[in-house]
Structure 1
Amino acid sequence: MRRLACAVVLAAVAVPAAPADAASTPHVVLLSDQVADAGTVIRARERSLGFITRFRYATAARGFSASLNEKQVARLTADPAVLMVVPDTEVTGAGTAAIAAGEQAPAGVRRIGAATAGTASTAATGAVAVLDTGIDLANPDLDARHGVNCITPSTPARDDNGHGTHVAGIIGARNAGRDVVGVAPGTTVYAVKVLNARKTGTLSQLLCGIDWVARNAAALGITTANMSISGTGSDDGQCGRANRDAQHVAVCNVVAAGVTFVASAGNSGRGFGTTIPAAYREVLTATAMNDADGLPGGRGTAFGCKTTEKDDRFSTSSNFAVTSADAAHVIAAPGTCIVSSKAGGGTATYTGTSQAAPHVAAAVATCRSVDGPCAGLAPAAVIAKVRALSSAVTGAGFVGDPFSPVTGKAFGPLVSARS
């Protein structure tokens, strides 16, 4: 499949927005592969068409976002230098339910083999980018670092919602005698803020975050990116070029550069073929299962936050794979009543595939460590390896996995962090 060239011409930076015309609406514009100098083209279109860009993208995809009126959209759509012009749609964090609680080694971390009652894993050698609401950068239980703030540019990517900090804690909360431990304790997590305090953002802001990952992954040692985010769309089999999906174009280019993306499947209890980025075949998609006690066997009973769910079964709200193509990049992880780090300190309990995804992202980062079985592998091979290693673990399954399938619903094998 063809992909946009990844030449670095501009940084993805925010520039002052022009006063909005009454007929103008936000759009994202990606440039054609044939454009040699994106900066020159963008500046020329700004002058000739009379708009000012908000974000400019250089690496994951080449283009910009701006408020455009109908005439400007028509001119750009007909421009041979332009690949696509699409509305700047809203994206949201995958749904969760927050309740307060706490424990030292959460059941989900134990269930996937990352900890026991008395031991915990160690940090991955690579870092994980968390594209979310930001992270509590002052939390002593996290090795959290500022990446980029695409909501309020040029300010720290602090978490004003709590979702991103909870995700980061599942990945790498330290083994330091306080609160909880993550799947890979002490792993560096980069805050890539693409969602606001209401856990919503726009396509242009998401592209800003993906572009930052593309530009900085090699220098910062980022091997894995977690996206507990959902929107509406599908996989066209051409990395977004056929159905004009700018997010898919960007994800494919970052994957081609070596970063493994993990995405939450979504929480609508349906096939994830119409949920993006979960539907993209280039990502590892995480579904959610229930684990109450950190052990297989279905004997756990203490689901304080979700009394209708049963131990060692698929989560009833989790999306799932329906087609064989979707089933080839799906994997499961605990996602019900998950205890993790809270913005401001302490712990909180959330439920959803948003919580399953970081369990998987941490396992992927561990597998991609310098001494791990995924070291040196391209992202597609990493996905295949992690799924194969997870499928090989006997006696750890749940109702809904390939060994105990549910007709018409594929949740994938339970991820293993024992690599």
Structure 2
Amino acid sequence: MKTQLRILSTLTVFSFLFFSCEKDVDEVTPIETGIDTTETVGADQAVPGEYIVIYKEDKSLYGKSGGVKAKSQQTLSKYAIQENNIKQTYSNAIQGFFVKNLSEKQVEMLKSDSEVAYVQPNYIRKLDVEMGEPVRELPATVHNKATTNDSWLPSGDFLPWGINRVGRADGSGKTCWIIDSGVAPHSDLNIDTNRSRSFVGGSWQDQNGHGTHVAGTVAAKNNGSGVIGVAYGATIVSVRVLNAQGSGSDAGILAGIDYVARNASNGDTWNYSVGYPYRQINNAVDNAFRNLEQTAYGAMAAGNSNDDTQYYSPQQLSTANSWCIGNMTRTDSPAYSSCYGSSVDRWAPGTNVWSTWINGGFNKISGTSMASPHVAGILLLRGNSTGTDGSVSKGGYTAPIATVN
């Protein structure tokens, strides 16, 4: 379990927890693509006419996508709203639906419905990471006694400095769900293609690179070539919620979280390296992660805004099974861009990290997105805990450095 080294946040949000042993038949409705993005969060970044409607708790509907769909249709019919405006329903991590083509008057009617907890716009998210320069061949390494180094193993595998710092072990037979831009086929990765899904339309395969990089840090094989991951040889499930440009909507992200909550097994982990670059609290996303952690524990990136996590969703959460991770450098110092705060549970390597990339290549990039999968791999090996070795302080907060042992 977590060692809490923080003051509890004073922010209060609504949480709806659902429990059931029954799982409904998996239903996947692709979220439509072609969403424009902007650089600021606010009304101009909400997709016009699109809303996420979240119901009050109904334990009898937990995991029953058909039941939630029927309830959603009944809700719209009460207000003479076309049922075909429903584009996605949620039944596990959260209960509700994504709807398009609503007028302001219709939104107000839905908000006043006695069964509805809240209604919120469908906002856009976009990756906040410099994408580096992909290569086909990994570089020669240089030893520096003052830092943790990249190196080559006798087996022929490239050992990124982050894996060297936190440790590694055999992850064969274990599964991590990557909620990201997808995961591209790669000789270094074991991908469960049967359970991989896209919630931005098209294939589950990564067309951006970010999700593939995350996956390699978690689980790249110990196979005598390429890089090696923390839980090397583990199985990866691609849950694609971001398009080729690294953009996605809350509606698609919630669908991906809901899918993991419906299908993950005890002992699986997830990684979520997505977030807003500007301050925003989002009840639906927060509540979805609260409920996801009832199924599986996992790690999320703290964010790259050099700000306190209390202003961001879902990074503000202080919960038992969702680990928020800051980005540290090779000298065990906090990265300048990394967010910090009472909700940051651990620090991990996230600066100049080599990992797998699209088209069978490799890339070196930086951010809390790169730190988080180190801890997702550790959780996969250890259960809901990490080892620690030292600590990192930033913004008046201190948290341990995560390790395998």
Q: With structure 2 as the length reference, what TM-score do the two structures score?
A: 0.78
> Which residue number in structure 2 is paired with residue 256 of structure 1?
294
> Which residue number in structure 1 is paired with residue 244 of structure 2?
197
> Which residue number in structure 1 is paired with residue 338 of structure 2?
318
State the shift of 1:180 in Å: 0.7
> Which residue number in structure 1 is paired with residue 18 of structure 2?
5
**1: CA distance, partners of 2:29 / 2:356:** 30
> Which residue number in structure 2 is paired with residue 127 of structure 1?
175
Opposite residue 93 of structure 1, the aligned amino acid is L
Cα distance change on mapping 1:85 and 1:234 into 2, 3 Å = same
> Which residue number in structure 2 is paired with residue 289 of structure 1?
328
**2: CA distance, partners of 1:96 / 1:280:** 26
State the shift of 1:45 in Å: 2.8
Q: Give the alignment partner of residue 235 of structure 2, picking from 184, 188, 192.
A: 188
Alignment of 1:18-33 (within 5 A): 25-33=49-57
Identity of aligned residues (%): 27
Q: Give the alignment partner of residue 39 of structure 1, picking from 69, 82, 91.
A: 69
Opposite residue 62 of structure 1, the aligned amino acid is Q
Is residue 88 from structure 1 mapped to residue 122 from structure 2 by the alignment?
yes
State the shift of 1:411 in Å: 5.1
Which string of whole-angstrom CA distances, capped at 9 and with x for unpartnered residues, describes residues 281-303 of structure 1?
12211101111xxxxxxxxxxxx
Structure 2 contact 15–287 (Cα < 8 Å) conserved: no
Consecutive unaligned residues in structure 1, runs of 5 or more: 18-22, 115-120, 236-243, 292-310, 369-381
> Which residue number in structure 2 is paired with residue 351 of structure 1?
366
Is residue 177 from structure 1 mapped to residue 224 from structure 2 by the alignment?
yes
Opposite residue 336 of structure 1, the aligned amino acid is T
Structure 1 contact 132–228 (Cα < 8 Å) conserved: yes
Structure 1 contact 341–348 (Cα < 8 Å) conserved: yes
State the shift of 1:33 in Å: 1.6
**1: CA distance, partners of 2:380 / 2:267:** 9
Structure 1 contact 4–32 (Cα < 8 Å) conserved: no
**1: CA distance, partners of 2:199 / 2:264:** 17
Structure 1 contact 287–411 (Cα < 8 Å) conserved: no
Helix, strand or coil at the partner of 2:379: helix
State the shift of 1:127 in Å: 0.8
Is residue 108 from structure 1 mapped to residue 162 from structure 2 by the alignment?
yes
Helix, strand or coil at the partner of 2:163: helix
The runs of 4+ residues in structure 1 deviating greater than 6 Å are: none
**1: CA distance, partners of 2:246 / 2:328:** 23
State the shift of 1:9 in Å: 5.9
Structure 2 contact 16–56 (Cα < 8 Å) conserved: no
Structure 2 contact 220–228 (Cα < 8 Å) conserved: yes
> Which residue number in structure 1 is paired with residue 198 of structure 2?
149
Q: With structure 1 as the length reference, what TM-score do the two structures score?
A: 0.76
Consecutive unaligned residues in structure 2, runs of 5 or more: 1-13, 33-46, 62-66, 140-157
State the shift of 1:38 in Å: 2.6
Helix, strand or coil at the partner of 1:415: strand
Is residue 159 from structure 1 mapped to residue 206 from structure 2 by the alignment?
yes
Structure 1 contact 15–53 (Cα < 8 Å) conserved: no
Bigger share in strand: 2
State the shift of 1:151 in Å: 0.1
Cα distance change on mapping 1:316 and 1:174 into 2, 3 Å = same
**2: CA distance, partners of 1:226 / 1:320:** 18
Q: Give the alignment partner of residue 310 of structure 2, picking from 270, 273, 289.
A: 273
Opposite residue 130 of structure 1, the aligned amino acid is I
Q: Give the alignment partner of residue 57 of structure 1, picking from 83, 90, 106.
A: 90
Is residue 416 from structure 1 mapped to residue 391 from structure 2 by the alignment?
no
